[in-house]
Chains A and B, each alone.
Chain A
Amino acid sequence: MTNNGTILSVKDLKTYFQTEDGVVKAVDGISFELKKGETLGIVGESGSGKSVTNLSIMRLIPEPPGKIVGGDVVFDGIDVRSLSIDEVRKIRGKRIAMIFQDPMTSLNPFLKVSTQLMEVTQLHLGHDKTQAYEHGVKMLETVGIPDPRSRMDGYPHELSGGMRQRVMIAMALSCDPELLIADEPTTALDVTIQAQILELIKDLKARMGTSVILITHDLGVVAGMTEKIIVMYAGKVFEQAPTKELFSTPANPYTRGLLKSVPDPAHEQGKELYQIPGLPPDVAHLPPGCPFAERCDRVEDICRKEYPPFVQINEGHHSLCHFAKEVYEESRREKAAAA
């Protein structure tokens, strides 16, 4: 491996959508790096650009109306943006695989489970029918589907939501990819099934050494799964930090707001749960200052006028805020007081 163990590096990625309402800057200058075997969490509200970031990595943005207008995506030393679409297809499904949010609609209802599983390895690994079938059975077994042979010949609608997501994972991991992008893999599932699926991803990641990008809006999901986290808001990275540090000493008012919004059963029974006021801004018409200014609890004049800087707090910990250092100190004081 080249690039000292870095599997994916995204620099200043910009993906815009042309709409009747103007240019929507869905992703506007995202940068991050992912090391081999590492798990990265991307957190944010709906519409913050989490999914678009990852669809951009695989060049799956519907074009038009979307377009990657700037930045670099380097996967294992390959500049993905400069590849032809045929070369990108050789990476998709083979070296970078994806699991989508809704397993109910992400599997093709018209095709057998076997067909959908087999076509990946037939395409990328050159399997013949028998090999692909046996490989499919093995993969279903790996993801914990009972009686895999009879499931192979069934259709997706005969499976429960959790089972379908397992099939999706089996499909994604069929070619032993180096990078797995899981786009809200548990959002559409029951809480008990959620835990099972997350355990499964964690377990398979450990066994196969796959790097993972886990997209979610659920902080609880990323807490136990990831090494570092990116918090996205309005198409921008608001905070980036190692998971532990982000949870203990956040340096961005938005992250603090998100963490405060998580219900904590151990504390303050009967107290109303905190919520960030207002709604995410319309990314087609962003104000000149900080996009979070209108909802921020410590907003000052400068926030509305000037775009905030991306401040480095520690090694690997950055925050997009005029008062990043102050917020960080505040978090540290609170943490010390609590201890």
Chain B
Amino acid sequence: MLSFLLRRLLLIVPMALLVVTLTWGLIRIAPGTFYDSEKKLPPAVEANIKKKYGLDKPWYYQYFIMLGNVTCRTMAEDETTLNGIQFNVGSARVKCFDFGDSLKYEGQSVNEIIRRHLPYSATIGIIAYILALIVGGSAGLFAALRQNSIYDYGSMALAMLGLSVPNFVLGPILVLIFALGLYMVPAARWGGILNLILPVITLSAIYAAYIARLTRAGMLEVMRSDYIRTARAKGLNETSVLLKHAIRGGIIPVVSFTGPALAALLAGTVVVERIFSIPGLGNIFIQSVLNRDEPLTLGIVAFLSVLVMLLNLIVDISYGFLDPRIRYE
């Protein structure tokens, strides 16, 4: 178990480097630069900018500078920075995970921007995640228990609707009804708990729908199995059969979905953040790509890729708790 954990954690390093490298390459291939404007810059100005940001150096030189920044490198004597992690190895000063300053938002470091905007996305994301688990999970469970009943058909129809209606439609409709029509909640912006309601519902709808369908399918599959018949033959009531015998096997597909889902929710979604004017990470991420703000894009990509890998690792470990037949070697 411990060696499995260690191996998986170590594997994150090359994976993250690969993701960063690919992203860096894609940004470089994409046309346009961060200093592009409507008017073409005079060649002398452009040369100056290139020199300032080290863009006049060969590409491999730039690549290794970037790699040193996002991982670890020793600091120069006169270098001062507050980003990333800094520590001393003997007399040398080393710093890690410093993605540098944003090219667009001058004077702001990438680490600082992520730190500032992540809490908004994460707050909404975690609440939406919990809501989706509770609503989707229980809807799926009841649908499986009362298969082919009105309730089953009703909740599955609703789930289908949740899957088919995109959030950029659902969001404005909710705003129209509950904010602009009924004046029950604010239409947008960050503030109190009331402000959270609409974005959380908009964000969680599709996940709740998906979880409901996964739970129902998983439970139905398990409820047909021989060992459930055995449990019934022992005289257990349906609640015990369901909660003691069926649920572990039934929710395995749901568990495998929830890891990546949580990562996606934490990272924020640009659509929901735009609709409700929330200063989350998703919006910043998209903007950084449009601005060709290379350090910011790389920083967010690196952060998200590590997050996804960590959450997937947690999912894989939790399989072991659900299913004793799974061994980690």
A-side interface residues toward B, CB under 8 Å?
58, 60, 64, 86, 89-94, 97-98, 100, 102, 105-112, 119-120, 123-124, 155, 157, 168, 171
Contacts and interface: CB of A to CB of B under 8 A. Distances in A.
Contact of B225 (A105, A120, A155): A105
Given A86-B237, A111-B245, A157-B324, A106 B227 contact: yes
Interface in B235-266: 235-237, 240, 244-245, 248-249
Interface of B: 148, 225-227, 229-237, 240, 244-245, 248-249, 322-325
Given A100-B226, A102-B226, A119-B244, A109 B233 contact: no
Contact of B232 (A60, A112, A123, A124): A60
Given A94-B235, A100-B230, 12 more contacts: A60-B229, A92-B232, A97-B233, A107-B227, A108-B231, A109-B227, A109-B325, A110-B245, A110-B322, A119-B240, A168-B230, A171-B234
Nearest to B325: A157
A111 B247 CA distance: 11
B235 A90 contact: yes
Nearest to B250: A110
Contacts, number: 74
Contact of A93 (B235, B249, B322): B235
Contacts of A112: 324
Contacts of A90: 235
Given A110-B322, A111-B244, A155-B324, A89 B236 contact: yes
A106 B325 contact: no
A152 to B, nearest CB: 14
B157 to A, nearest CB: 21
B226 A105 contact: yes
B232 A109 contact: no
A86 B232 CA distance: 12
Contact of A109 (B148, B244, B323): B323
Contacts of B237: 86, 89
A58 B324 CA distance: 31
B226 A119 contact: no
Candidate in B148, B226, B322 with the most chain A CB atoms within 10 angstroms: B226
B233 A110 contact: no
B326 to A, nearest CB: 10
Contacts of B229: 60, 100, 106
Given A89-B236, A92-B234, A93-B234, A106 B324 contact: no
21 contacts: A60-B229, A89-B235, A91-B235, A93-B235, A93-B236, A94-B235, A97-B234, A108-B227, A108-B230, A108-B245, A109-B249, A109-B324, A110-B322, A111-B244, A119-B234, A119-B240, A123-B235, A155-B324, A155-B325, A157-B324, A171-B230
